[in-house]
Amino acid sequence: MNELARQLAAGGATLAYAGLCAALYLRERRRAAAQAGAAAALNDRGGPPVLVAHATQTGQAETLAWQTAKALHATGLAVRVLPLNAVDAALLARTPRALFIASTYGEGDAPDGASDFFDTCMARPAALAPLRYGLLALGDRQYARFCGFGRQLDDWLRASGATPDFAPIEVDRGDPEALAQWQRRLGVDAAAPAAAATPQPWTLARREHLNPGSQGGPIHLVTLRPPAGPPLRWEAGDVADVHLAEDPGRPRSYSICSIPEEGELRLLVRQVRHADGRPGAASGLLGTLLQPGQQVDLALRPNPGFRLGDNARRPLVLIGNGTGLAGLRALLRARISRGLHDQWLVFGERQAAHDALLDDELRTWLAEGRLARLDRVFSRDQPARRYVQHVLLEQAQALRAWCARGAAFYVCGSLEGMAAEVDAALRQVLGAVGVQALRREGRYLRDVY
């Protein structure tokens, strides 16, 4: 290829990239404008609006907040919907009535959608005597501190002089009766969440054992074919809920590893074993019992708190461990399909010889320049344990440079250990104020479990 041809090819690629970026930008602008329009439409009544504030990790609290707001608006009330991170004590002090819909992160912590509010407002009581409020706390009873953040928020509101209209309503994993109670307390007919997606039969196409010989539990790449009918859509960052006949009320959730353009749904499933040796119900089914051609009931669930969204055109720093690679791989695949290659993956597992998950694909992307940087750390390959947080601290200068270029940070994997240590490392490298700014700008997202 002569020099002119190379220049023309490079120019064409640049124009194509610019066109893609412009299309993504316009899409996000339209989405933001639509949300702003919806918010304005809810605040078109006379009198002070009811504040509906949501503290969300996966998007469920935000969804409930908008549904609650629309139901109140239908009764003739003006309503204002805000993330809790956009609320402060001064706003609450001049608000006569507020409704809080608050999820909990892990063992009782504030979710990402409330971390700034927790740090800046809840450190000490405020003067909120005029405020009357209702609280819907979302949680999961498998955690010891069930609805921990919702309870902390209620304690803070009471200590600040606010008056509850009714006792806090606590919801265990979307319990419909608790949500119906919320409806009744508000006196509305449509505040319950939209019906969850109906599970559909997905067919096992193949299963690959990714880590034979590992010191950890077996991890399988499970590939499923979609049910017949119109194509089912999801986005990178979304979740698949596996429904089991023996336990219909509690689906098992897995980060989706693929994008729709690949024509298959892929999951990374680690085999779980109970203390008595029994396999986990879902991981046992997907990892061992289900045979090719057999079906499993599965529903796709949006996870707006881990999608690309406004970060679609930013550089990305993707951090995770274990099966958390599933959500990160989907984000990478979505970006690569759009011609975007400015991404850095930091990933940890046990041993390079056994746990280099998706190794061929990652090496290929790196060699082709589709992945700008790949740092993998294997904790058992040296006497002193090393984890992803150690890589972040060692690469502090590079991390700051990526942040300065506007990078967004995505963390996927273990709640216990990894997520907290990564957060501490980021605070050490970027500063607590810097991490708070990332959260406010939507540039620090987590899908941890």
User: Region 403-420: what's the mean pLDDT?
Assistant: 93
pLDDT for the residue numbered 304: 85
pTM for the predicted model, two decimal places: 0.79
pLDDT for the residue numbered 41: 56
Give the whole-angstrom CA distance, residue 65 versus residue 3: 58
Residue 405 corresponds to which tokens in the numbers above? 């270029």
Hey, CA dihedral for 242, 247, 250, 252, is it positive or negative? negative
How sure is the predictor about 3, in pLDDT bands with cuts at 50, 70 and 90? Answer: low
Coil/strand/helix, residue 408? strand
Can you list the positions of beta strands (E) in 78-216?
A: 79-83, 97-103, 132-139, 163-164, 169-172, 200-209
Closest listed residue to residue 58, CA positions, set 193, 176, 226:
193
How sure is the predictor about 274, in pLDDT bands with cuts at 50, 70 and 90? Answer: confident
Give the whole-angstrom CA distance, residue 313 versus residue 134: 39
How sure is the predictor about 12, in pLDDT bands with cuts at 50, 70 and 90? Answer: very low
pLDDT for the residue numbered 13: 41
Closest listed residue to residue 449, CA positions, set 253, 318, 248:
253
pLDDT for the residue numbered 45: 54
CB-CB neighbours of 287 under 10 Å: 22
- Residue 289 scores a pLDDT above 50: yes
pLDDT for the residue numbered 4: 46
- Residue 8 scores a pLDDT above 60: no
pLDDT for the residue numbered 160: 98
pLDDT in tens, 28-81: 445 444 444 555 557 655 578 999 999 998 888 998 999 999 999 988 899 999
- Residue 194 scores a pLDDT above 70: no
Give the whole-angstrom CA distance, residue 294 versus residue 285: 11
160: left (phi over 0), alpha (psi -120 to 50) or beta: alpha
- Residue 21 scores a pLDDT above 80: no
Give the whole-angstrom CA distance, residue 315 versus residue 296: 37
pLDDT in tens, 212-260: 999 999 999 999 999 998 888 999 999 999 999 887 668 899 999 999 9
pLDDT for the residue numbered 39: 57
- Secondary structure percentages of the chain, helix, strand, coil, to 5: 40, 25, 35
Kindly state the DSSP code that residue 266 receives in the 8-state scheme. E
User: Region 157-171: what's the mean pLDDT?
Assistant: 96
- Residue 411 scores a pLDDT above 90: yes
Query: Percentage of the chain surpassing pLDDT 70?
Result: 88
What domains lie within the chain, and their CATH numbers? 40-186 (3.40.50.360), 200-303 (2.40.30.10), 305-448 (3.40.50.80)
> Which residue would you say has higher pLDDT here, 304 or 95?
95
User: Region 103-126: what's the mean pLDDT?
Assistant: 91
How sure is the predictor about 106, in pLDDT bands with cuts at 50, 70 and 90? Answer: confident
Mean pLDDT is lowest, of 270-279, 284-293, 355-364, for 270-279
